[in-house]
A and B are shown apart, each in its own frame.
Chain A
Amino acid sequence: MRIRLDDDACVGHGRCYVLDPSTFGPDDLGHCELLVAEVPAADQDRARRAVAACPEGALSIED
């Protein structure tokens, strides 16, 4: 599973990295940074919930 981050849409609500700190992390501004290219199977449910929690729709699942 790969995740796409739309940098222009992210404004730093921080829900993604709070809900799934192994897939997402904050940069200095508190905006999202993807920590992994491929989300390992064990983390996928958590990553999906984090993607769904973004109020800006900045995250999507690529495959």
Chain B
Amino acid sequence: MDPRDAVNAETGEANPYLPWVAADPQPFYERLRAECPVSSMEGMAGLGAHIISRYEDVRWALRNPQIFSSDIVAVDIGQDRPLIPLQIDPPQHATYRRVIDPTVGPREIAGLEPEVRRVVNEVVDRFVERGTVDAHAEFTVPLPCTVFLQVTGLPIEDLSMFLEWKDEIIRPGGGMLEPEEATARRHAAGRQLYDYFEGVLADRRRRQGEDLISRFLTTETDGRTMSHEEMLDILFLFILAGLDTVTSTLDCSLAYLAQHPEHRRRLVEDPSSADPIVEELLRRETPVMQIIRVVAEPVELHGVSMSPGDTVILMLGSANTDPDEFGPTAAEFDPDREANRHLAFGGGPHRCLGSHLARLELQVALQEWHRRIPDYELAPGAELAYSPGIREIEHLPLVFTASAPVG
């Protein structure tokens, strides 16, 4: 399947939700930007489902929440109310972010580095002797969840329970269920997750520690601490927004570097290059391909009228490879490019709340992986299946030179 065929320039329709587009999105993005910068979701021409694909347009939409609102319960994911802060618009949005941001700010997150580094090494220890690994199942999935448990001071034994809840909420039954059953399973898992966190908060109020949840309880901004609802929602969002996103970024990164030894050599020889390399992987791979907004005020873009209530897909991946922003080398992997203003974490007021933690996890994971497993490649015959939307790779079989565990 040619990803270009997912764009129909004649009808102005396109479909980013196809596995073969997720596997190789660049040709799809290129055609979208060039031939229909505001396209319609396939099968929905005239029905108010738009796709915006150029960098300047995506950036403009992100920065104009009064036109492109987040006040949308796009999918009912078992949450109790609109999710704070994801589904809240300015100006109320800022009152939440002002009190939440300091708990996951750059200084607080930098302090977690030794713990994250230890977790990464523990996870690597479990397979490093073997010389083969499904890096998705054994590295990129357990890693962010283990980091979450570690930084929130929750028992590591709860790992498999969390992974189950997360999958039940995001893709109940592996995504193969009838809608009603899927919604029911989502709700059940969402309920269990909220109940679990209720218990954790009650426990932390009695016994405060040094962990992130204790910090939620004590960090004060503008004379107030986070409300109970804010804490619950933010913990819920950590699971929904902070696990698969890191998993998919590591999937895409390891798959890319496995196939491009010339680019991983730098990471092996100079671990301090992890920052520009991670930024370039985030840009070029853009694991969260798109985000959703709802139109709040009538607006026109490239001759297409959008009306209140219309859905808009902001194609972050296509923005991030737009030559009008990144120049003639936009499609290439170049960690040394002059400026890398990518939008992989979104932009405007909803800029990813977890971006400091995500960057730490990604940099430390790639540093430690390449320190311990400098030589690796895709297992012979491996075919990689990418999921649309958030580009996880179902199985990522790698072979490498075995070595001894350190832990």
Contacts and interface: CB of A to CB of B under 8 A. Distances in A.
A12 B351 contact: yes
A13 B275 contact: no
B139 interface: no
A56 B341 CA distance: 8
Interface stretch (B100-108, B204-212, B247-255, B264-272): B100-108
Contacts of A17: 106
A29 B97 contact: yes
Interface in A8-63: 9, 11-15, 17-18, 26, 28-30, 49, 52-56
B320 to A, nearest CB: 10
Contact of A11 (B106, B275, B341, B347): B347
A30 B340 contact: no
Contacts of B102: 28-30
B157 interface: no
Contact of B339 (A13, A18, A28, A52): A52
A53 B340 contact: yes
B300 interface: no
B105 A28 contact: yes
A56 B62 CA distance: 10
Interface in B111-135: none
Interface residues of A, number: 18
- In the A-B complex, the 4 residue pairs with the smallest Cβ-Cβ separation, listed nearest first, are A52-B339, A30-B105, A55-B341, A29-B101
Contacts of A53: 339-341
A18 B276 CA distance: 11
B15 interface: no
A6 to B, nearest CB: 12
Given A30-B102, A56-B63, 4 more contacts: A13-B345, A28-B102, A28-B221, A55-B343
A11 B90 CA distance: 13
Contacts, number: 52
A26 B107 contact: yes
A18 B343 CA distance: 17
Nearest to A10: B351
B356 interface: yes
B355 interface: yes
Which of B97, B106, B221, B345 has its CB near the most chain A CB atoms (within 10 A)? B106
B349 interface: yes
A14 B343 CA distance: 13
A62 B314 CA distance: 33
A13 B63 contact: no
A11 B338 CA distance: 22
B260 interface: no
B342 interface: yes
Nearest to A30: B105
Contact of A30 (B275, B347, B356): B356
A54 B339 CA distance: 9
B98 interface: yes
Contacts of B342: 55
Contacts of B221: 28
A55 B33 CA distance: 20
Nearest to B344: A55
Which of B97, B101, B221, B349 has its CB near the most chain A CB atoms (within 10 A)? B101
